[in-house]
Amino acid sequence: MNEPDLPSPNDYQVVVVGFGPSGAVAASLLGHHGICSLVIDRQRAVYDKPRAIAIDHEIMRLLDNLGVAEQVLPYVAPFPASEHFGADGQLIRRIDMVPEPYPLGYTPTMVFTQPPVEGALREHAGRYEGVKVSLGTELVGLQQTQTGVTLTLAGDDGSRRTVRADYVIACDGASSGVRERLRIGLADLVFDEPWLVVDVLINEDVADKLPQTAAQYCDPRRPTTFIIGPGRHRRWEIMLLPGEDPQEAQTPDRVWALLARWLTPADATLWRAASYRFHALVAERWRDGRVFIAGDAAHQQPPFIGQGMCQGVRDVANLIWKLARVLEGSSDESLLDSYEEERSRHVRELTTRIKAIGQVICERDPVAARARDARILAEGGGQPRTITRQEIVPPLVTGLLTTRDDAAKGTLFPQPWVKSPEGYGRLDAVAGAGLRLIVEPTLAAKLPPGLSRQVSALGLRLIMVSSDPIRAPAARADNAVTERDGVLARWFAAHGCRAAIVRPDHYVFGTAADDVALGALLDELRARITPAATGLHHAQPIRAVP
């Protein structure tokens, strides 16, 4: 039996450093779990220029779980197929998204305009009673002990104060001051190329003159990316050549000279031009005691399939449900070790894949570029083949997953559209998210009382999903629904299972084909996430925000 909850002497359970997209989502997730939190940022306003431009269905699903998707969607549009053109201008391949019915209930890949989206995320985070936001506030000191972290904060009004927290999450960007204070190095995955990123707002009559899909010009003379943003927003990413001055490249005259193939200054308004070095870097450590790093503070990758911001949101979604369990006493603090184990490997694998795509795009030797084109076309049998962005993003392969052979473990669980007595909706919204067991009705009907008690004792939500509208599931679960398009039925069939334990971040812990296998899976989950008999990490009750 757990010992009684003990109050914490600290001011906050969690402090988030940085209020960009990852920090804002982290703050909302903490608020969603009822965790008393402070989020700080030295800047008071959202940066008014676009930086990240791509978001995917996994992230939109998480935003929907938080109740902020509707505020974000007005600034989002589908990401069209990206056509890759070779050294001689020929189409060599396409990168597109998986077809409908979409597996996670949202368009798999989208573009967005960052300033209003970031503003919506900030505003939503500030609505939670347990989340305090302090802007114009900079971290200037950090010390930790076995029982908490002391942070010294300086306001832009000259004030200074000290707060204590149980844990700290640093989402303070690529030049992270927290990472530097902790002396966490960055492993270089060996990609370093100079590029110019240009954002414009085109005139209404110009859209038809530009490419109607995203485009990747793999031209050895000047590799270039073209992206269609929401509304009138268009982006070019242009590789800088040896000897070109990055500062001179971002001046208006030079920018318009580089865009002359597509636009003139009369066709659009220049919104942003910034020179970058595209890097592939991953932190050597993601945790130092009670301090975690996430987002750009933990990793940077080339932008070629638009996963930079998605990676940061995945980080905080992975960490915070585990942190919530530890803070409430449902799991040992050792559960937090799986954060780095899972996210570091996932980021490294995805960054390696993105880097390989980037190396193909950035080839500047004409002979090698034509050989590349021939190889890519040969892979498609002599024709440009289409690959999906979704197959580029890997599953989790280590961490809090079943140790049994299971092809589904570590993959994202589908979110079909389902019908309930209240009408149609996406699975999470209708049946609930969190830690859950999702079963087919034929297996649910055979669950012995002992297994049902085990499910309840672990705090799993039991959800039954039928694919047969005539034989709708009986209401003996927390929720029983009927899916509309057979997405989940095909997923169960493909993996040879009839039940899946799904984590709050929507990754599959493991699957089972019958009640015996399900019992073993539940036993394994209990052993992995419930507190040990000794050395419990006590719950920290919610406290009023100072």
Q: What is the set of domains in the chain, with CATH numbers?
A: 12-76+110-186+280-341 (3.50.50.60), 417-529 (3.40.30.10)
Q: Left (φ > 0), alpha (ψ -120 to 50) or beta: where does 359 sit?
A: alpha
Which residues fall within 8 angstroms of residue 520, CB to CB, at 6 or more apart?
404, 512
Lay out the sheet containing 54-56: strands in order across.
54-56, 109-112, 76-78
CA distance 217 to 118: 30
Q: In the prediction, which pLDDT does 151 show?
A: 98
3-state secondary structure of 59: helix
Neighbours of 250 (CB within 10 A): 18
User: Which of 70, 22, 90, 91 has the alpha carbon at shortest distance from 317?
Assistant: 22
Burial bucket for residue 308 (CB in 10 Å: 0-12, 13-18, 19+): buried
Query: Between the CA of residue 139 and those of 135, 351, 421, what are the distances in Å?
Result: 11, 29, 50
Q: In the prediction, which pLDDT does 126 show?
A: 97
DSSP-assigned states of every residue in 421-438: TTEEEEHHHHH--SSEEE
User: Which of 164, 167, 158 has the alpha carbon at shortest distance from 136?
Assistant: 158
CA distance 213 to 83: 7
Which residues fall within 8 angstroms of residue 284, CB to CB, at 6 or more apart?
184, 185, 186, 187
Contacts of 158-165 spanning 24+ positions with Cβ under 8 A: 163/11, 163/12, 163/15, 163/38, 163/546, 164/9, 164/10, 164/11, 164/12, 165/10, 165/11, 165/12, 165/13, 165/14, 165/15, 165/38, 165/290
Q: What is the largest CA-CA distance in the chain?
A: 74
pTM of the model: 0.94
Structure tokens at 496: 């040879």
CA distance 145 to 160: 21
DSSP 51: -
Structure tokens at 92: 């060599």
Helix/strand number for the chain, H first, E second: 16, 27
Neighbours of 20 (CB within 10 A): 25
Sign of CA dihedral 93, 96, 98, 103: positive
Half-sphere exposure of 343 (CA within 13 A, CB side): 30
Low-confidence residues of the chain, pLDDT below 50? 1-7, 533-546
Dihedral angle, C-alpha 536, 542, 545, 546, nearest 10 °: -50
Q: In the prediction, which pLDDT does 264 show?
A: 97
Q: Are 433 and 446 in contact (CB under 8 A)?
A: no
3-state secondary structure of 126: coil
Neighbours of 426 (CB within 10 A): 18
DSSP 543: -
Task: Quote the mean pLDDT of the chain.
Answer: 92
Q: Distance from CA of residue 415 to its chain's centroid? A: 16
CA distance 192 to 432: 43
Task: Print the SS3 string covering 64-75.
Answer: HHHCCHHHHHHH
DSSP-assigned states of every residue in 241-279: PTT--HHHHTSHHHHHHHTTTT--GGGEEEEEEEEEEEE
Beta-strand runs (E) in 289-382: 291-293, 299-300
Q: In the prediction, which pLDDT does 533 show?
A: 46
DSSP 351: H
Which residues fall within 8 angstroms of residue 348, CB to CB, at 6 or more apart?
189, 282
CA distance 222 to 208: 24
User: Which of 48, 218, 533, 341 has the alpha carbon at shortest distance from 226?
Assistant: 218
